[in-house]
Structure 1
Amino acid sequence: MHIIVGGCGRVGADLAERLSDEGHDVVVIDASDEAFRRIGTTFNGEALVGDITDKEVLSRAGVERADALAAVTPSDNANLMAVQIAKELFDVPNTVARLFNPQREPSYRKMGIRYVPETSMIVSAIRNDLEPESFPVHLSRAEDDVSLVEVLIGDHGRGVSVAEVERDGDARVAKLQRGVRMQIPRLDDRFREGDLVVCAVRRSGERRLRHLLLGRD
């Protein structure tokens, strides 16, 4: 995949490194060339100085052929604009914006912007949204039948209840994070787009959980 990461702060640098280590073609953009010092020596992608809301800069980063773009600067406005440009002008199929201000979540949802709230698991959540073949494992050991996984709820999982997830006994919802608020959900709680959910799931239930929450087998 050709992936553009807009912003090379702590989150952007970590995300770019992970994606590069997984073999993706990564271009990371930042307004300051000093920011690229955060990237480790294993990164084999491209670093580009520029404004992520500038169409010419995005073109130099290969946005026309990009499979995904993550806008993770410290500015909600810049992240939103970069995602809109990528989606509406260049038809980038997978985009996600980092969101600091939880009060803006309703506006993002109305505009159909996929976003990840500022959380301790933001890098894993963004990576999952860019490359959604699976959900990232939060904790797993080879000898165990149960893993803890984190799922970023998108359009497909919106409206699914905790009871539906736990129906067959192969999965339990351990935590629901909505914006900055974390809770242990009730069975009748339904997920919203942008929720970050941590589930304990047996190996036998992973396929069903992917299908239920992500729409994939």
Structure 2
Amino acid sequence: MKVIVCGAGLVGTTIARQLAAEGNEITMIDVSPERAQKAAESYDLRGIVGHASHPDVLERAGAADTDMLIAVTFADEVNMVACEVAHALFNVPTKIARIRAQSYLKPEWSDLFNEKHISIDYIISPEIEVARAIHRRILTPGAFEMIPFAADRLRLIGVRLADECPVLNTPLRQLTELFPDLSVNVCGIVRDGNLTVPGADDHLEAGDEIYFVALTDHVQRGMRLFGHEEREARRVVIAGGGNIGLFLAKEIEAAQSSVILKIIEANKERAEYVAGQIRSGVVLNGDTLDMDILSEAKVGASEAILALTNDDEVNILTSLLAKRAGCQRAITLVNNPAYENLIGSLGVDVVVNPRSTTVSSILQHVRRGRIRGVYSLRDGAAEVIEAEAVETSALVGQPLRDLDLPSGMMIGAVIRGGDVMIARAETEIEAGDRVILFARTDAVKKVEKLFAVRLEFF
């Protein structure tokens, strides 16, 4: 597949790196010669210097025979124009644009993005996606990741294992024997920074970060099994009243009306605007690093601090101050990937990376065929894929124990009509089933080759 990626920022380079590693033909456009050259040298792709919205630049990038254009420059308007030019002059089949400004996304302007006006096939709004990702983590206390499937009847959960986890050093195959009525499947283990897809004889150790799928009704029991019994937050403080903070506050008010919500915003005009947009939350105007403001927000008596300003350092320090004051849990927005591996040891419970969230949203539209959903994990180290099996698939009609699946991949669950089943060795997949796959990124290409013809995943 030929793809043009417009914008060599963090999101653009992450997408380009991932797609190039899978054998796609990638061309990257950026106004900076340094960024374009660095991307070309680092990820084995073609770099073009210029404005992504200019017709001559798109022509040099090969737009005439490109399958997809992904516009993720820093400017919404450049992304929109790039898509429109790609459509009008080069008839690019699929156009994806990242749009940050919420004004463009209001329901009353929904007709703006279609073939008659601005031709964009899929719009990605990072602020909305990040806010929803944070809210999912709030709904599962103790988890650093939560992704719902099948209308939230199935969830993928990420948790850290502490010394008190009751199933440490137990072979995974024994979990089913010990807890036969618990619908849980461990799909991934991160140990010493390395992500593996475990086998039945593998075991868990203290300090591991694991990913498991579970029926939603069984998540709470699964969390207890892995040593987590945290209570759902009832008192929440949001540090930062930007687009993410405001959207998240609205989400919490709509879904968790009993939550006592406080928002701290440094800009007085913005604080007044946020106060007019929410129903019951209290908005405080002040610096999130000011202990008097944190004390006024009663952060020490709160179950969760959500640090969501546009400054990584402020978010990290705010989280640490809140934890020191007695706040039980800190969820911190961090854009710089260099910080991610450092701050966990400082006491921050959950790190949210907007880049990974945006990449996941884009990948759902990049994967071809019968893909229902794609989620990127751990900065692209793994993917969770929801795909539909067809009648001619090699998966259909055989127990999973008899399938020759590539290493680095695991089938976690099967969705069949109204039923959701955790995959076991004896499970047989039927045509029309939706399969939840967990795969390391280096195995995605193997999965694609294995199922390209028969399963039409991609």
Q: If the TM-score is normalised by the length of the shorter chain, which range does it land in?
A: 0.5 to 0.7
TM-score, length-normalised on structure 2? 0.32
Counterpart Cα distance in 2 of 1:129 and 1:50: 26
**2:367 aligned partner:** 131
CA contact (8 A) 1:69 1:130 kept: no
Counterpart Cα distance in 1 of 2:92 and 2:24: 16
The one-letter amino acid of 1:170's match is V
Q: How big is each residue's C-alpha offset from its partner over 1:98-146, in whole Å with a ceiling of 9 and x where there is no partner?
A: 0112231243654222211114311122133133332324565856632
* Residue pairs, 1:52-201, within 5 angstroms: 52-105=52-105, 106=107, 107=109, 110-112=112-114, 113=120, 114-118=122-126, 119=130, 120=354, 121-133=357-369, 134=371, 135-137=373-375, 145-146=412-413, 168-170=418-420
In structure 2, the CA distance between the partners of 1:108 and 1:132, relative to structure 1 (3 Å rule), is farther
CA contact (8 A) 2:36 2:48 kept: no
Counterpart Cα distance in 1 of 2:87 and 2:428: 35
CA contact (8 A) 2:417 2:433 kept: no
Identity within the alignment, %: 25
CA contact (8 A) 1:16 1:28 kept: yes
CA contact (8 A) 1:21 1:42 kept: no
**1:160 aligned partner:** none
More deviation, 95-104/76-85: 95-104
Counterpart Cα distance in 2 of 1:70 and 1:85: 13
Deviation at 1:38, TM superposition (A): 5.7
Instruction: Tell me which structure has the larger Cα radius of gyration.
Output: 2
Structure 1's unaligned 5+ residue stretches are 148-164, 172-201, 211-215
Q: How big is each residue's C-alpha offset from its partner over 1:59-113, in whole Å with a ceiling of 9 and x where there is no partner?
A: 0000000000000011111100000111122110011000112231243654222
In structure 2, the CA distance between the partners of 1:45 and 1:207, relative to structure 1 (3 Å rule), is farther
Structure 2's unaligned 5+ residue stretches are 115-119, 131-353, 377-382, 385-407, 422-426, 436-455
Counterpart Cα distance in 1 of 2:92 and 2:55: 13
Counterpart Cα distance in 1 of 2:59 and 2:52: 10
Counterpart Cα distance in 2 of 1:206 and 1:58: 42
CA contact (8 A) 2:48 2:61 kept: yes
Counterpart Cα distance in 2 of 1:169 and 1:84: 42
Counterpart Cα distance in 2 of 1:126 and 1:46: 20
TM-score, length-normalised on structure 1? 0.64
Q: How big is each residue's C-alpha offset from its partner over 1:141-164, in whole Å with a ceiling of 9 and x where there is no partner?
A: 8566328xxxxxxxxxxxxxxxxx
The one-letter amino acid of 1:43's match is Y
The one-letter amino acid of 2:419's match is G
**What do you get for the CA RMSD once the two structures are aligned?**
3.2
Instruction: Give the structure, 1 or 2, with the largest relative contact order (CA under 8 Å, sep 6 or more).
Output: 1
